[in-house]
Amino acid sequence: VRYTAKMESTLDEIADGTAEEVATLKEFYNRFQPLLEHAYENMEKKELEKVGEVCPECGGELVYRTGRFGKFISCSNFPKCRYTRQIDKPEKEKPEPTGKMCPDCGSELLKRKSRYGTYFLGCSNFPKCHYMENLEGERIVSKKDKAKAEKETKKTSAKKTTKKVATKKTTAKKTTKKSTTKKTTTKRTKKNEE
């Protein structure tokens, strides 16, 4: 925490013009570089999992690596050899016809597998029709449809309340004007009596 606070104040000094940015960076890097080198030399190297295949480009061994898009296969001689390939993903199950018809559009309902592994019936006319039901025949309403319905009800109720509030405001203004005029007349009469 002390380091962060000190760095924050040093950055403020650079912004104010009281400290020089190049000198500050040199000071930071002179302390940081030996720590970085020590970590690089003494860090345990993680053993890569072997695929059991030979690289088609250089004859090296293929290994599994993890990148920003997930696991992939590459050559163990990286960076000398840049051979990579994607891991084959299992094929998705094809939807099965059920013989039931969609109540919304009349197309056939298909038995599909969700990304979580559960089965449901979905319209074959997807994405034009979003009708879904579980295997027991109960309709499934997606979060998107729920949010859309709630938004529509909020819009209609908001319109009604704004109309009511607007009429209340105008009546409140009229009564306020009347009361202020009465107060001023009573004050004038008191002054006139004196």
The model's pLDDT over 122-145, given as tens digits with 9 standing for 90+, comes to 999 888 988 999 888 888 887 777
> Given pLDDT bands bounded at 50, 70 and 90, which one contains residue 41?
confident
In 3D, which of 111, 120, 109, 110 has the Cα closest to residue 142?
120
Average per-residue pLDDT for the chain: 80
For 141-161, the pLDDT digits (tens) are: 877 777 777 877 776 665 555
Q: What is the pTM of this model?
A: 0.35
For 61-93, the pLDDT digits (tens) are: 999 998 888 889 999 998 899 999 888 776 677
Residue 78 neighbours by CB distance under 10 Å: 15
Structure token pair of residue 40: 């690089």
Residue 138 neighbours by CB distance under 10 Å: 8
Secondary element (H or E) of residue 177: helix 143-193
Residue 24, C-beta contacts closer than 8 angstroms, at least 6 positions apart: 10, 14
**How many degrees, rounded to 5, is the angle at CA 23 between CA 22 and CA 29?**
90
Structure token pair of residue 108: 């056939």
> Given pLDDT bands bounded at 50, 70 and 90, which one contains residue 162?
low
Q: Is the dihedral of CA 61, 64, 68, 69 positive or negative?
A: positive
Token match 């890569």: residue? 48
> Given pLDDT bands bounded at 50, 70 and 90, which one contains residue 7?
confident
Q: Give the pLDDT score at 74.
A: 92
Bridge partner residues of 62 (DSSP): 75
Q: Give the pLDDT score at 188.
A: 54
Token match 């203004």: residue? 173
Q: Which residue has the higher pLDDT, 71 or 178?
A: 71
